[in-house]
Amino acid sequence: MHWDCHVHIFGARAQFPLASTRGYVPPLRPLGQVEEAALGAGIAHLVLVQPSVYGTDNFCLLEALRASGGRHRGVVVLDPAVPEAELRNLHQVGVRGVRFDLVSADGNGLDGFERIARMIEPLGWHMQFLAPPEALRQILELRGHTSAPFVLEHFGGITADHGERSEAAGVLQKLLVRDDCWVKLSGFYRLSEKPGWDDLDSLLIQLATIAPERTVWGSDWPHSWFFPGARGAAPAYADTLAPLNRCLPAEMRERVLQDNPWRLYL
């Protein structure tokens, strides 16, 4: 079965309180809701990504991983002072990566990058970046600091306005020609100005062609329609698969949706 490599869940406030500093107040979106939507689109496995509103408190994500019986995986945000022994516990639950948020006002930036990189290398985890296009060059420079794979969310932040020939897209290409960098085809509605998001088609094809074995897909459920200043309604879950169905041949879709995730999140 296929993978959705980028979803967020939000639990009941009483059990999973939000961080005191947060950029938005999310609605209740528990694991069962996304599982139902995903199964309807043929997706059996999810990668739960820690949202910024929980800070370094990963309790909501970890409880969902425990409830999933090993079907899903997680990407957490870590306190730089986290005890190294704690990482082994997280690994057993299903955590396989650490997120660095360089976009959100309440994001963790690159806090603790060097120490966290040293600790996760033996576990085979990756380092995941939510980054604006202008930060890609810094990420390229960091590539020499660790052997842990890098994963770039949401097309590396490249929007339809940037296009595949922009300077930022060129830096992203330099990252993706390496065998230790991955990209998520996700967050279409964040990056496009058109219904159906077909203004991202050429970039999608280019990235999947450059890194056919290091490209994965994510719905970004439940989407950012509840963010301050968000436009329009949330897309239907199945609609977020439409660009892959439109742009990629069946063999490449199978790599993106199944073969590649199995290797990254083993």
Domain boundaries, the chain: 2-264
Scan for tokens 């088609």, then name that residue: 201
* 196 phi, psi to nearest 5 deg: 85, -15
Which two tokens mark 35?
């599982």
Q: Can you give the pTM of this predicted structure?
A: 0.96
How is 7-58 classified by DSSP, letter by letter? E--B--TTTSPPPSS-S--PPPB-HHHHHHHHHHTTEEEEEEE--GGGTT--
Beta partners for 47? 73
Tens-of-pLDDT digits for all 266 residues of the chain? Answer: 899 999 999 999 999 999 988 888 899 999 999 999 999 999 999 999 999 999 999 999 999 999 999 999 999 999 999 999 999 999 999 999 999 999 998 899 999 999 999 999 999 999 999 999 999 999 999 999 999 999 999 999 999 888 777 899 999 999 999 999 999 999 998 899 888 999 999 999 999 999 999 999 999 999 876 666 566 678 999 999 999 999 999 999 999 999 999 999 99
The sign one gets for the Cα dihedral 133, 201, 178, 90 is positive
> pLDDT tens digit string along 221-248?
998 766 665 666 789 999 999 999 999 9
Q: Nearest Cα to 190, choosing from 218, 170, 149?
A: 218
pLDDT at 230: 62
CATH number of the structural domain 2-264: 3.20.20.140
